[in-house]
């Protein structure tokens, strides 16, 4: 409180920086000085915090050339034409995700296997994306899969199940209509039994009002909860959702096969 009052009293330009403000349950507003001067920067995976911004930018995946350079730098390999060609294939498979690229580079630096990485990755994806490198190129403490697991653990059980269900759809073009139409499915003599479809039926039932009609607000609440952790992305122009391909693969891996 004293710090906020001090900033409020200072007419000079100052900068207040909130880094990794990812918890959607935290009300950042109470940490803002109540004045019309000064500057605040917020970095977050939660798109809902854009309400505080005079302007905001969404950070997407890397351009191929930048991703290749990042991989080779992280891997301590020279930027020869042959290395760049191999690196281009690797970053494509990693879907140009910076954290995954840095993690791959650290593994390649340790093992020396630039050319053999894709073969190892094809058979050991979960292990490689969970493995913490011995030497880090930055101060970020988490690797790819554990980062998503932390977000997943914060979701309600209903949101977890919804995300898992989405992992069996294509990672692009996920629409509310898919679920609305499925909720109206009529069982017939040749249909699968309700017992076989119990999991998706339980998910869909959350989006119906007491009369059994589709409730778009319930669907919005569910997707907003997941979006707050940047696990899914909403594209307002198309009114569609998407999941990053690596997140999509990881989400499916969380489904129990018992």
Q: Do 160 and 246 have their domain in common?
A: yes
Q: What is the pLDDT of residue 127?
A: 87
How many domains are there within the chain?
3
Cα dist from 122 to 97, 125, 168, whole Å: 17, 6, 20
User: Is 58 inside any structural domain?
Assistant: no
User: Is 31 inside any structural domain?
Assistant: yes
Each residue of 181-231: pLDDT tens digit?
A: 998 888 888 888 878 888 788 888 889 988 889 999 999 999 999 998 888
Is 252:165 a contact under the CB 8 Å cutoff? Answer: no
Strand 233-235 to 39-42 pairing: unpaired
Q: Do 159 and 245 have their domain in common?
A: yes
Domain end (from 141, 170, 191): 141
Q: DSSP string covering 137-164, please?
A: SSS----HHHHHHHHHHHS-HHHHHHHH
Each residue of 68-110: pLDDT tens digit?
A: 999 999 999 999 999 999 999 999 999 999 889 988 998 898 8
- Answer yes or no: is pLDDT of 43 > 70: yes
Q: Do 127 and 209 have their domain in common?
A: no
Q: What is the pLDDT of residue 22?
A: 83
Q: What is the pLDDT of residue 138?
A: 55
Closest CA to 231 of 221, 240, 241: 241
- Answer yes or no: is pLDDT of 54 > 90: no
Q: Do 128 and 173 have their domain in common?
A: no
Burial of 67 (0-12, 13-18, 19+ CB in 10 A): buried
CB-based contacts of 123-127 (< 8 A; 24+ apart in sequence): 125/249, 126/250, 126/253
Domain end (from 112, 141, 170): 141
Structure tokens at 5: 């009052």
Q: Do 173 and 126 have their domain in common?
A: no
User: Is 175 inside any structural domain?
Assistant: yes
pTM summary value: 0.75
Q: What is the pLDDT of residue 229?
A: 87
Average pLDDT, the chain: 87
Q: What is the pLDDT of residue 257?
A: 54
Q: Do 30 and 123 have their domain in common?
A: no
User: Is 57 inside any structural domain?
Assistant: no
Burial of 174 (0-12, 13-18, 19+ CB in 10 A): buried
In angstroms, the CA 202 to CA 161 distance is 9
Q: Do 162 and 112 have their domain in common?
A: no
Higher pLDDT, 131 or 168: 168
Q: What is the pLDDT of residue 137?
A: 55
Domain with 96, as residue range(s), is 64-141
User: Is 233 inside any structural domain?
Assistant: yes
- Answer yes or no: is pLDDT of 114 > 70: yes
Q: Do 110 and 175 have their domain in common?
A: no
User: Is 258 inside any structural domain?
Assistant: no
Domain end (from 141, 160, 177): 141
Q: Do 167 and 245 have their domain in common?
A: yes
* Percent of the residues in the chain that have a pLDDT greater than 90, as a whole number: 40
User: Is 136 inside any structural domain?
Assistant: yes
Give residue 57's pLDDT band: very low, low, confident or very high (50, 70, 90).
confident
In angstroms, the CA 165 to CA 207 distance is 14
Q: Do 10 and 42 have their domain in common?
A: yes
In this structure, of 158-167, 171-180, 191-200, 227-236, the range with the lowest mean pLDDT score is: 191-200
User: Is 23 inside any structural domain?
Assistant: yes
Q: Do 236 and 168 have their domain in common?
A: yes
Each residue of 127-157: pLDDT tens digit?
A: 888 876 665 555 555 578 888 888 899 899 9
Q: Do 69 and 132 have their domain in common?
A: yes
């Amino acid at each position: 409180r004293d710090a906020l009052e001090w900033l409020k009293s200072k007419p000079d330009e100052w900068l207040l920086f909130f880094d990794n403000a990812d918890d959607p349950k935290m009300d950042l507003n109470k940490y803002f000085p109540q004045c019309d001067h000064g500057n605040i920067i917020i970095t977050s995976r939660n798109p809902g915090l854009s309400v505080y911004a005079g302007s905001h930018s969404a950070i997407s995946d890397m351009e191929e050339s930048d991703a290749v350079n990042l991989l080779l730098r992280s891997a301590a390999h020279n930027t020869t034409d042959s290395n760049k060609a191999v690196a281009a294939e690797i970053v494509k498979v990693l879907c140009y995700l910076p954290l995954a690229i840095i993690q791959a580079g650290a593994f390649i630096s340790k093992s020396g296997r630039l050319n053999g990485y894709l073969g190892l990755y094809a058979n050991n994806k979960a292990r490689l994306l969970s493995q913490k490198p011995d030497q880090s190129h930055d101060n970020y403490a988490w690797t790819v899969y554990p980062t998503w697991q932390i977000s997943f653990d914060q979701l309600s059980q209903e949101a977890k199940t919804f995300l898992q269900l989405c992992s069996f759809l294509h990672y692009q073009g996920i629409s509310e209509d898919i679920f609305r139409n499925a909720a109206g499915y009529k069982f017939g003599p040749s249909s699968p039994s309700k017992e076989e479809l119990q999991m998706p039926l339980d998910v869909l039932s959350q989006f119906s009002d007491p009369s059994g009609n589709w409730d778009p607000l319930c669907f919005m609440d569910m997707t907003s909860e997941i979006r707050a952790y940047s696990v899914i992305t909403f594209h307002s122009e198309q009114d569609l959702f998407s999941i990053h391909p690596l997140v999509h693969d990881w989400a499916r891996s969380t489904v129990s096969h018992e």
